[in-house]
A and B are shown apart, each in its own frame.
Chain A
């Protein structure tokens, strides 16, 4: 079954381990600027949101790429960049609705999540489990349970009244 890199911003503690290990694995250096995942922070209100490519069903990056350099990997479902074809025009960066594609500060080519070939390291390093690699159905199950919990809280309160 297809797996999904699932983000739960409420759990993120903002430690940036995901960014560090992403750049260490892919570029062999620690440089969050060259990571494929990024935690956007509103420091003064305490909100942290990890942002990463969601491997869209209809990937706009793939649609707009003039070189057809972006293709889906059947095994993992990740949309991958073929660097032999990529010319660095960055149209994908412009069109991605999530800001999921980054420009490499070294090579000026584009960087995007490849799900570490089906074993995403950011998930392994995310202790609070703000990042999880789940079966597609499990994602829905968990979301549904969380929503139901809120509803049940509400119902309990109504009963108490």
Chain B
């Protein structure tokens, strides 16, 4: 069933669309929410129901986004062309009062890496989109002029955004709210970086939430799409509402009883620094040191100078973000949210800046322009090392003195990247084009995988974390499979209980770690598909909810019964379809590899266990073989025929929707 009405669709409460809006007897809302296909070139909008079978196989959010991406995207297109597809997906559990259930998944072919582009974003947009009647948007083509999408109670309009162009990410959201005369409008927006098609531009919502890493904001810019605004009043129906209230309360207690949630409630992810900067698991000066000397001001306690309170995403009881006010300095006054550990690394340890003020200003700038914090900091730190080594000089940087800790140059370069000005234009396309442009041996200093910068963590002492970044479908990305609990020195009995196989308790070991990574991949794929926060599953704490809890929550919200094994298989399916996508785009085993420095340079300082460590090439190769084997992929990382059959992937692309 489908209806095609340019710019407008019938109200969901009309008799024509009985599957949407009003309560459907014995059905939960997941079955009533639709996928809308929006062609910005033609101005057409088509809505379709999402088949139940597809829900069972891919759940929602990232899972269905990955299915749609593999099915609808033509192979090897230019990611900046109108053929690229921008996907917006709501997680399956969206709307429950627990576990940060407001996660939204955004996908496309990445303009940064050419691989899977996929970002998971918190905040308040996903629930508003679901309240407005849609779980998925498939956006193709390119609008003739700056436009934005207006989604409201089953209707979608393409609206003029000329007045929003060149506005920053905060102003844009305010203007859309003012235009609609409604404070409750939630928007996904891009800033100047997205407009200028910086290849690692973010999509932003609220003060802090950012769909980062893979350049989804760049895709919006390439489509002339400034924003997607949603406002909805349609009920989100759950299969067993009373039991859901009780179980949600139980889930909130469960997560808040973990030590990590308690620390995050107070300090946010900045608390990680207190650990990594004393153990040697952090990168400073790009890749030169693994401790920031005299870096006391970056300890989370410093945030007390600026914090007016904490802030949480939709349905989250942890609230890990600071609401901060910076009252002094040339950029003041600033009100912002965050900063994350990621920003502390990007604009602190990586570039050798040692003041919290610097982090707060830089964090504000990237948020305002809509730039990825990690990629921006990673590129600038690389440029600083090149400057130090004399590979680039003051002429190349158009007068910027890229010396370590030069805060002024840092701020200027952030602005230049966002606006594609000066030396910033060299960095604005990401590592691969910048390496080509700069030449010489600049490549050997770049800490990147598949064209994406790595977090400021040092994985040389930790083979599990190294495998995590080498194999991620997104590039050098920790969030696809980080087995962070490997760092806790947990007893082997407990590790075996979680992972189901023997795993070494020593984080410098290679034993069982491939299994650990594959297990986390499945868990996070499901987490991103049911749309809850990764911090509220087995990321930071072994006691956080996982398969059993997910299974029960899926049942209470949708009535779907999926066992632990079935959910693991869903995770495996999602990860494998991402692998198929990357293989189709020309990626192969050689791309699942670390920068040479991981194998050749030993960590200079750190705890005795972490000091003097580098990754062993041969053992890493063996671990990669083991990892492929665990997935049912051949030695080149290509899924075997029987694996595809087992995962119902042998018929893909199946075009079910």
Contact = CB atoms under 8 A, between A and B. Distances in A.
Contacts of A31: 131, 233-236
Nearest to B308: A46
B237 A29 contact: yes
A28 B241 contact: yes
B537 interface: no
B252 A125 contact: yes
B236 A29 contact: yes
A23 B316 CA distance: 17
B314 interface: yes
A99 B313 CA distance: 25
Contacts of B315: 15-17, 20
Given A17-B315, A105-B233, A125-B317, A46 B183 contact: no
Interface in A1-22: 10-17, 20-21
A13 B321 CA distance: 9
Given A21-B245, A41-B183, A127 B256 contact: yes
B335 A44 contact: yes
Contacts of B312: 13-15
Contacts of A128: 310, 319
B558 to A, nearest CB: 13
Interface string B265-309: 100000000000000000000000000000000000000000011
Contact of B248 (A21, A34, A43): A21
Given A24-B238, A24-B245, A124-B249, A17 B317 contact: yes
Nearest to B124: A16
Contacts of A41: 183
Interface string B235-255: 111100110110011001000
A105 B124 CA distance: 20
A44 B367 CA distance: 12
B340 interface: no
B310 A13 contact: yes
Given A43-B173, A46-B309, A25 B245 contact: yes
A33 interface: yes
A80 to B, nearest CB: 21
Contact of A13 (B173, B237, B252, B319): B319
A24 B323 contact: no
A121 B235 contact: no
A51 interface: no
Contacts of B248: 21, 125
Contacts of B323: 46
A58 interface: no
A24 B241 contact: yes
A30 interface: yes
A45 B335 contact: yes
A48 B183 CA distance: 13
A29 B183 contact: no
Contacts of B337: 46
A27 interface: yes
A40 interface: yes
B27 to A, nearest CB: 13
B309 A15 contact: no
A43 to B, nearest CB: 6
B96 interface: yes
Contacts of A46: 207, 308-309, 311, 323, 325, 335, 337
B212 interface: no
Contacts of B242: 28
Interface string B171-191: 001100000000100000000
A39 B173 CA distance: 18
B99 to A, nearest CB: 11
Nearest to A128: B319
B170 interface: yes
Interface in A108-161: 121, 124-125, 127-128
* Most chain B Cβ neighbours within 10 Å, of A12, A30, A45: A30
Given A24-B97, A127-B256, A29 B241 contact: yes
B235 A43 contact: no
A45 B174 CA distance: 12
Contacts of B249: 124-125
B256 A29 contact: no
Given A15-B314, A15-B316, A125 B97 contact: yes
Interface in B621-643: none
Interface string B111-140: 000000000000010010001000000000
A127 B319 contact: yes
Contacts of B319: 13, 15, 127-128
B245 A44 contact: no
Interface string B334-353: 01010000000000000000
Interface string B24-61: 00000100000000000000000000000000000000
A127 B98 CA distance: 11
Contacts of A10: 309
B172 to A, nearest CB: 11
A40 B335 contact: no
A20 B335 CA distance: 28
A33 B653 CA distance: 39
Given A15-B312, A17-B315, A46-B309, A121 B245 contact: yes
14 contacts: A15-B314, A15-B317, A20-B315, A29-B29, A30-B97, A30-B235, A31-B131, A31-B234, A46-B325, A46-B337, A106-B235, A124-B249, A127-B252, A128-B310
Interface of B: 23, 29, 95-98, 124, 127, 131, 170, 173-174, 183, 206-207, 233-238, 241-242, 244-245, 248-249, 252, 256, 265, 308-319, 323, 325, 335, 337
Given A14-B311, A30-B127, 20 more contacts: A13-B312, A15-B314, A17-B315, A17-B316, A20-B96, A21-B97, A24-B245, A30-B235, A31-B235, A31-B236, A34-B235, A44-B207, A46-B308, A105-B233, A125-B249, A125-B317, A127-B252, A127-B256, A127-B318, A128-B310
List 5 A-B pairs, minimum CB-CB distance, nearest first: A15-B312, A29-B235, A13-B319, A127-B317, A30-B95
